[in-house]
Amino acid sequence: MDEGNGSAPNADDIAAMSFEQALGALENIVQQLERGDVPLDESITLYERGEQLRAACQKRLDSAQARIEKIVTGADGKPSGTAPLDGTD
């Protein structure tokens, strides 16, 4: 891996981003690609970077979802407690 190549997508800098930063960067890439005025080679690089950002955001969302608890309802339909969202104990 060439650490000196600043133009290549870098997973390390994505990992250092907050969710909001990664999502903002992804939105920026989508806007650039939707405009259609980016040269083909740059579009491919942007697409690859966008895919890395999308994967990082999805991983963070999956992690957050695993930590969220769901409300458990009793037979009467009223809340009776909570359980992990994934159903494991």
* Residue 42 burial (CB count, 10 A): 12
| Residue 82 φ then ψ, to 5° | -130, 160
7 — pLDDT class (breaks 50, 70, 90): very low
Whether the predicted model's global pTM rises above the 0.85 cut: no
Query: What's the rounded Cα separation, in Å, for the pair 9 and 29?
Result: 13
Are 53 and 25 in contact, with CB atoms under 8 Å apart? yes
% of the chain exceeding 90 in pLDDT: 55
pLDDT at 64: 82
What residue ranges define each of the domains in the chain, with the CATH number in brackets?
Answer: 11-84 (1.10.287)
The residue type found at 73 is: T
Average pLDDT, integer, range 54-72:
84
